A = this chain, B = another copy of it.
Amino acid sequence: MDIQEDLKVKSLAKAMRILECFSVDEPELGISRIAEMLELNKSNVHNIVTTLMQMGYIEQKESGKYCLGLKMLQYSFIVNEHLGYPRAVYDVLQDISWRCGEIVYFGIPYRDQVLYLYVIHPRARLTVMPYREILGETAPMYCTGIGKAMLAAFPEDEWPERITKERKPFTPQTVTDYGEIITDLQVCKERGYAIDDGGREPGLRCVGVPVYNSHGKLIAGTSISGPMANFTEKKIQEFAGILQDAAFRMRERLY
């Protein structure tokens, strides 16, 4: 049938592919919909979904549709605790936010994506920008402040695999041309920080820097983000300084 990869436990692989069908855009799915998405048999999907439901990983709504279960949240806690970053970086992130009065993000590299972990909202901005929990959100590296900062810090031979092949223009300002991205990364590398000019969210500018651990390994990135008006050339340099100082302080506490 379909290209069954060389996986030991195939039914398990199918089950995980079913779980991956659920997304922010489609958090609720029916059996038939899943079967059609993966080109699987209805009863096959039903068996797997039933089992996943009995285990608590999927829940069924009154409408008959299914969605991911709350049990999933337990894993994020385990993974996050195991990473051990909050204790090391959170007060530094808080400090950045106080000093610049803008939103601060912290994320780590995951293949060609930025995997966001933490966000700090400044007190004043709360009314303008709705709060969002971002633990687990992902975005392509090539068009985000943190992403470009981390990309620039990676060895150049990793760039091709870290730059998403199919680049969507999230906004009119998104740079999708491979050559342009490379040029920008060269600049970022030399300058020591990255700038995103509304490439992900319209009207939002972002300054990002890479974060290393005490062994000198690149492990994360952090950024300041806010409305374009607040990001003058002078402010950007000030923010970059704050971020680099913060990254330096984190470095000593990360292993």
Contact = CB atoms under 8 A, between A and B. Distances in A.
A228 interface: no
Given A12-B11, A13-B51, A68 B72 contact: no
Interface in A61-76: 67-70, 72-76
A136 B67 contact: no
Residue of A11, A24, A72, A136 with most partner-chain B CB within 10 A: A136
Contacts of A170: none
Contact of A81 (B27, B69, B110): B27
A149 B72 CA distance: 24
Contacts of A91: 126-127, 131
Interface stretch (A15-23, A158-166, A171-179, A196-204): A15-23
Given A15-B12, A79-B70, A54 B22 contact: no
Interface residues of A, number: 60
How many copies of this protein are present in the complex?
2
A76 B70 contact: no
Interface in A167-209: none
A115 B73 contact: yes
B13 A55 contact: yes
A137 interface: yes
A135 B138 contact: no
A118 B133 CA distance: 9
Interface string A75-88: 11111111000110
A254 interface: no
Contacts of A248: none
Contact of A24 (B23, B72, B78, B132): B78
Contacts of A73: 75-76, 79-80, 115, 117, 135-136
Residue of A70, A110, A118, A126 with most partner-chain B CB within 10 A: A70
A130 interface: yes
Given A9-B15, A94-B123, 9 more contacts: A8-B48, A8-B50, A9-B11, A24-B82, A68-B78, A70-B108, A74-B115, A77-B133, A80-B135
25 contacts: A7-B55, A8-B51, A9-B15, A12-B48, A13-B55, A15-B15, A22-B78, A23-B78, A24-B81, A28-B82, A68-B75, A68-B79, A69-B79, A70-B108, A70-B110, A72-B75, A73-B76, A73-B79, A73-B117, A74-B136, A78-B136, A86-B131, A86-B133, A94-B131, A118-B133
